[in-house]
Structure 1
Amino acid sequence: MGYLAEAISAARRARTQGAVPVALWHETTLAEWLVSVPDAFAEQRSHMIAALRKRMIGTMEAISADAIDRAMAAMMSVPRECFIPPLIDDLAYLPMVHDIGLEQTISHPEMVALLAAAGDPKDGTVLDVGTGSGYQAAVMAGMASHVTSMEIVKDHARSARERLTGLGYSNIEVLIGDAGATGQFPPETFDTIVIAAGAATIPEGLKAALKPGGRLVMPIGRSQDEEQMVLLERLSPDIYRHTLLRPVRFVPLTGEGMRHNSGTPEEWPAMIASTLPGITPSSGSEDSLDS
C-alpha cells in the first residue's frame, strides 16, 4: 500500500457511494475516479476494464471484437498494482503512465490493451520487446502459450524476472539484450511481436522473426510527437500488410533499432510504407496518449 492509501480511503468514506460512471475513467478526472472506486484493487481493475472496453470499440475496424475480448480477459487477470512502484501502487488503475525509473515507464492501460488486442496471439508464441516492469508480458502471457520478453536495461530485466516468477508466471522467459539487433532471433520464430517503444522504422530483425500469418505491433514515427501505432501482418514470407491504428507517444526504442530522425511530418507515413513491401497504409483513430 502506498503513502496515499490512508488519505484516499478517507476521501472514499466521506463520499456518497454509488455507481462509478465509466466516463469518469479519464485523463482529466483522475482524482474524481480515484475517490469513486472501492479500496479493493480487484474491484478497481474491473472498473478499469469496463472503461477500457468502451474505449477499444473505436479500434473495431482494425481489431476484431473477439481480440478485444481476449485482451480484456487477460488484463482482468493481471494485478497491475504489483507492477507499480509500491509508494504509488494506489494509483495503479488510473488512466495514466507511471515512471518506473531509469527513464522507463509502465504504459498507459489503453496502450497495453491496444498492443495486446492488435497482437492477438491466440495461444501462439509472443516476443515482448521492452520488458520494463513486466506488466505487458504478464498480459500477453494470458493470451499466449509462451512469451519471450527482452529488456535492454539489465536492472529492469532482473527485477521483472523476479517479479513475474514471484507472481507465478511460468510461461514467460525474460532475457537481457537488444531485441532490435539484426540476427537476435531466428527467422520466423514468433506468432506475435509487441514493441512498447517507438522508432522511425520497424527493425529488419524483428520483421524477419515474425512467422507468416503473424502480427507485429509497434509505434512508428519520425519523432515521439509523430508516432502512429502500426499493425504489421506478415501475409506470406515476402508480403506484409500494415495498418495505422492511431496516434500514440512512447518512450524511444534504444539499441540498434533506435530512431534516427529524417524526413518531414508530411513524409513519414510514406516512410513507414517504404519499409514494408507492397502495401499502402490505412488509417485508424485520431486520439493520442503517452505510453
Structure 2
Amino acid sequence: MIPLNHIKAGKRFLLLILVFVLNGCTYYGYKSIQVLTPPEKNTIMQNRKVTILQNSYRTSTDTVKQSQIDTIHRYALEGFLFSLADYGNIPYDIDSSMAVRINKEGKLTIYDWQKLDSAAKRRDSDIILILDASDLSVKSDLFFNDQGYVEAWKDFLIANRWVIIDPKEQTVIKDDITIDTLSYTETGFFISATQDKLPNTEDVIAELSWETGRIFAEKYIPTWQDRSRLYYHLPNQGYDKAINALLNNDFETAARIFKNYAEHQNDRISALSKYNMAVICELQGEYDLALEWLRDSYQTKKYNTTQEYIRILKERIEENARLY
C-alpha cells in the first residue's frame, strides 16, 4: 500500500504540473482589418475633382470591332468606377458626349484644348481622365495532343489607353497603357464538344475589360484591401471577455481589460497583452500608439511575431504618410 503522505505529495505535484500547463497555454486567432494602401504610381487624383470622358474618339470602320471596343470601354470604365467608389474620397463626374482626339505622341489640337478647358470650368474639374482607345487580340488553336486527346485553347489580350490631363495647364500628366490577359485550355474526345467548353468571347471581353479598369485604378487611386491581424488569447475568464469584445468591435472594453493584463507580473502575459493593445490601436487608426505598445511588448519579451508586427506597422505608417 502507498503511504498517504506520498499520495498527497503526488497530487500536489500533478496540480503544479496542471497549473504550469494552463499558464503556458496560449491560443491565437485573427481579426480582419481593412487597410488603405497607396496607389502603385502616385496620387495625382487625390483631393481633386475628376471628369471622365468615355469612348472619346472612334477610328474603327469595322462595325464588329467597334462594337467590341464599345464593350471594352463600358466594362473598363465600370471596373475603374468600382475602385473609385470603393475609395470614396475622389469627387468625379462622367461626360459621355464630348469627343477629343489625342495622337500617338499625346498631343491635342488647339480646338480640343479649348473644349477641355471649357468643360473643366463648367464642371469645376481639376483633372480630365480620358479612356481614349482600346484594342483586343484573340488567338485560338485546336490540335490533337501527344495523348491523342483534342486540345483547344484561346488567349485574350486587352489594352486600354488612359490619358490624364490637367486642363488648366493644358498638359498631359500621364499617358498610360494598361494590359491584361486571360488564357483558357480545354481537352476532350471530340472537336466540337471540346470547342464548346471554351468560354463565350463576349463574356471574356467583359470580364477582362472590367479587370483592366480596376488595374488602372490601382496605379493612381488608393485601394482598400482585406488583411488579418494575429491576436493572442490566454485561457482565463477575463481574457475571454476581452477577446469577445475585440471580435465584436467593442474596443473600449477590450482595451480596458488588456491594459490591466499588460501590468501582469508574468512577462509572457504582460507582453502578449501589450501586443493585443497594439492590435486595438491599429484597428482604430492610432498607428503611432500601436507601435509604442509593440515596442514595449518586445522589450518585455522578445517574440518573433511582435518583431514582424513592428515591421508591418512601420510600413503602414509610411504608406499613411504618402496618402495624406
- TM more than 0.5: no
Mark the structure with the bigger radius of gyration: 2
Greater relative contact order (CA < 8 Å, ≥ 6 in sequence): 2
TM-score normalised by length of structure 1: 0.20
Q: TM-score, normalised by structure 2?
A: 0.19
